[in-house]
Amino acid sequence: MRKFSLSTLGPLAALILLIVVGALLNPNFLSAGNITNVLARSAFTGMIAIGMTFVITSGGIDLSVGSMAAFIAGMMILAMNALIPTLGIGVPLVLAGMAVALAVGLAAGFVNGALITRVGIEPFIVTLGTMGIFRSLVTWIADGGTLSLNFDARQFYRPVYYGGLFGIAWPIIVFAVTAVVGEVVMRHTRFGRHIEAIGSNDKVARYSAVNVENTRLMAYVFLGLLVGLATILYVPRLGSASGSTGLLWELEAIAAVIIGGTALKGGYGRVWGTVVGVLILSLIDNILNLADLVSPYLNGAIQGVIIVLAVVLQRGKSTAEGR
């Protein structure tokens, strides 16, 4: 078992420090409404970040997840609007929309994974290309504007985001369940062990009878499926999709994974650390907005700085261990 170290406890300590700072800066920070809002809004990128943990642990990367979410949302809205005359407004329509979202997410993840594992193109190049393709497609379909879900369908669908169980919003519940499942899969299944083995040394993993190509492909398919799941919960929030939907979600997801302690070069991943990383980013954003310390337009810059610092710390740790 891995011993607790500064790299393990660091993200938790940072999270606790942020909670204390937030409470001191604004008395409303710890209110039930604010905490629920932070957790619900972080659920989308959180679920994507969990899938990203598997991809990065295997030695890959996916820059297309934000654009993929926009494309999935657009396809889901188009499908639901088209099915209203047949299915009417009700549960069958919502279930059909959810099925479309999961199917498109799975297909998009498969395309990324197949191009990487079957064609042999570098993950950075593949996902950089599909990032542009997905966002351009949804912008073209919307004719540069916005795709909107039928008003009555949106009203019926709203409880999927705004409703919940025992006072806990559905996005928070689904995020929590996804995190538990992801941690179990990473730590206690053959798939998780193979993911880490491939990221550590794919040649050694291949000699150990690990199907490297199929395992990497499944990592991208799993990520695409989680992007579809996140989109299912996101669409009822606004009831629309456009070329700006999911903007910078890939940055937030990658930042959360790195902050949480997953090795950027692959070989070791922490799903629970990714969850902590997601919460850290969400709390920083929330504190900056509540305290009005800097312009909200600089949040992306702050996240970028955090990514660079996290990578520098990882490299410093690797250098120290190599001595």
- Distance between CA atoms of 128 and 286, rounded to whole angstroms? 29
- Distance between CA atoms of 151 and 148, rounded to whole angstroms? 8
Q: What is the pLDDT of residue 295?
A: 72
- Distance between CA atoms of 30 and 65, rounded to whole angstroms? 31
pLDDT tens readout for residues 227-282: 999 999 999 998 999 999 998 899 899 989 998 989 888 888 999 999 999 999 99
- Give pTM, 2 decimals: 0.91
Q: Is residue 167 exposed (0-12), middle (13-18) or buried (19+ Cβ within 10 Å)? A: exposed
pLDDT at residue 13 tops 60: yes
Identify the band that residue 315 occupies on the pLDDT scale cut at 50, 70 and 90.
Answer: low
**How much of the chain exceeds pLDDT 90, in percent?**
68
Whether residue 100 contacts residue 77, with contact meaning beta carbons closer than 8 Å, is answered with no
Is residue 161 assigned to a domain? yes
pLDDT tens readout for residues 204-214: 999 988 899 99
Is residue 28 assigned to a domain? no
Buried b (16+ CB within 10 A) or exposed e, 220-258: bbbbbbbbbbbbbbbbbbebbbbbebbeebbbbbbbbbb
Identify the band that residue 172 occupies on the pLDDT scale cut at 50, 70 and 90.
Answer: very high
pLDDT at residue 308 tops 90: no
Is residue 108 assigned to a domain? yes
- Distance between CA atoms of 237 and 76, rounded to whole angstroms? 14
Cα 69 vs. chain centroid, distance in angstroms?
10
Amino acid at 208: S
* Cβ count near 56 (within 10 Å): 30
Give the structural domain span for 219.
Answer: 37-281+297-314
pLDDT at residue 283 tops 60: yes
Amino acid at 40: A
- Distance between CA atoms of 199 and 17, rounded to whole angstroms? 32
Q: Can you give the CATH number for the domain in which 73 is found?
A: 1.10.3470
Q: What is the pLDDT of residue 229?
A: 97
pLDDT tens readout for residues 83-141: 999 999 999 999 999 999 999 999 999 999 999 999 999 999 999 999 999 999 999 99
State the Cα angle at 119 between 59 and 130, rounded to 5°: 70
Is residue 222 assigned to a domain? yes
Bridge-based pairing state of the strands 168-169 and 164-165: antiparallel
Bridge-based pairing state of the strands 240-242 and 146-148: antiparallel
State the Cα angle at 319 between 314 and 323, rounded to 5°: 150
Mean pLDDT of the chain: 90
pLDDT at residue 3 tops 50: no
Q: Shortest CA distance to 50 belongs to which of 279, 253, 232?
A: 253
Whether residue 74 contacts residue 147, with contact meaning beta carbons closer than 8 Å, is answered with yes
Total structural domains in the chain?
1
Is residue 228 assigned to a domain? yes
Is residue 5 assigned to a domain? no
CA dihedral (311, 303, 258, 173) in degrees, to 10, reads 170
Bigger pLDDT: 66 vs 209: 66
- Distance between CA atoms of 284 and 307, rounded to whole angstroms? 14
Bigger pLDDT: 32 vs 113: 113
Is residue 323 assigned to a domain? no
Identify the band that residue 2 occupies on the pLDDT scale cut at 50, 70 and 90.
Answer: very low
Is residue 321 assigned to a domain? no
pLDDT at residue 323 tops 60: no
